[in-house]
Amino acid sequence: MVVGDFLEEIDTLIVGSGPGGYVAAIRAAQLGQKVTIVEKEKSLGGVCLNVGCIPSKALIHAGHQANQMKNSNDIGIIADNVNVDFSKVQEWKQSVVKKLTGGVESLMKGNKVEVIKGEAYFSDDKTVRVTKDEYTTQTYKFNNCIIATGSRPNELPNVKWSERVISSTEALALNEIPKRLVVIGGGYIGIELGTAYANFGTEVVILESEKQILLGFEKQLSAPVSTGLKKKRNVEVLTHASIQSVEEQEERIIVTAEINGDTKTFNSNYVLVTAGRKPNTDKIGLEQTGVELDDKGLIKVDDQCKTSIDHLYAIGDVIAGPALAHKASYEGKVAAEAINGEPAKLDYIAIPSIVFSDPELASVGYTEKEAKEDGFDVNISNFSMAANGRALSLNESDGFLKLVTRKEDDLVLGAQIVGPSASEMIAELGFAIEVGMTAEDIALTIHAHPTMSEAAMEAAEIAIGTPIHAVK
């Protein structure tokens, strides 16, 4: 017997509590809206906080620490028999997750956002039915709704999920360090998790179908990452790889792939499939609402995140663009403000992309190729991390900072970084693009010494023709 299912009226409904949904909820509440958020999982925070951004970065950090201890002989630190207690690593990782998801719960209470745990299904464009458990459902009528249901790992047609064929979710929760791991897919998720386990001592093979790993980045940026994987971590990186079969046996799994016309087999303990993500738009009743989708299952929206139905909005992984937590958060603010009648609109020009590889990658604004394709006459200024005092003192001097500026007035159009702390350094360049700074503005800004951020000042000085630590 199902209980409940009587109609309740609410103001603003948000479906999904990831970094898009919960941020939208807070902003909507700040604007005076009465907000209700529905989440089907036990914890708030979505994929990012629970099984994505946060736990993966914790695992990456732990792996980096282990690898540094094992490989510090050249700076005079010799650590024999470095042991990793992986159960404690996992325990620590989960403690980080718990702190942040608990923090989101507190933020909901503090902003008077009603939280409903259950699975939402649209009955029409004004009504949603929430299944709270096996016996309880509740129907809600809303004035406005923001769809923030996120995405899930994409399963390959010939590589089905199993105990040993896993997605990033399971890879983050392993109770052992695998002796061997095959990673299918050389995008940012595959590279990040492949690097993390290689740092723990796993023998890793990365199979990428395209011509290079991290295809979304310029080859000159991804090349140092590929080199570091091969030379520093003994990771086998193979491109132009087509998966032929995956055979699961009792304690191992055999992957057969065609690589540049040759057939190769790989024995592994697990196969990690990182072949993109699929939007969660197919099981929530959107067909009942009239909302338009594209051929990839993504919800079509305008520059205020509004769908084809005026009072329905969509943000994050369910709309076009990269699956980035900070993109979803930004869109959540725009959607909440649009519901309030404010003139907020999407502008992605200064949205950064980051890979927590080793060395790290980061990009914001135009790449050189994109700028030229859009008709800009540009200057390209590169500053090597090998000339940066802080990078040398960290013993991590691989990489460079690349600045893309408009030739006529040195306006900063874009920047790309490969090197230590790239994920932190990119913020300065994003700010420069957002406020319309020139290379001279950056060059005249006094940067503390010795810091990684000085690379931005040095590249800017190259752009305006007055380099100090590079030969003109």
* Residues annotated within a binding site for FAD: 57, 149-151, 317
Q: Which residues are annotated as a binding site for NAD(+)?
A: 185-192, 208, 276
Catalytic residue set = 449
- Take residue 72 and report the two structure tokens written for it: 């510090």
| Inter-CA distances, 61 with 13, 26, 54, 108, 200, Å | 37, 30, 11, 29, 11
Between β-strands 360-365 and 412-419, what pairing exists: parallel, antiparallel or unpaired?
antiparallel
The three-state secondary structure class of 154 is coil
Strands of the sheet containing 241-248, edge to edge, are: 241-248, 253-259, 262-268
In 20-68, DSSP assigns E strands to 35-39
Count of helix runs (H) and strand runs (E) in the chain: 13, 22
Specify whether the backbone of 411 is left (phi greater than 0), alpha (psi in -120 to 50) or beta: beta
Q: What does each C-alpha distance from 203 to 206, 263, 270 come to in angstroms?
A: 10, 20, 11
Q: Residue 60: what residue type?
A: I
Q: Which residues are annotated as a binding site?
A: 57, 149-151, 185-192, 208, 276, 317
SS3 179: coil
Complete DSSP assignment for 266-313: EEESEEEE---EEES-SSS-GGGTT--B-TTSPBP--TTSB-SSTTEE
Strands 360-365 and 400-406: unpaired
Length of the chain as a residue count: 472
Q: State phi, psi for 40 to the nearest 5 degrees.
A: -85, -20
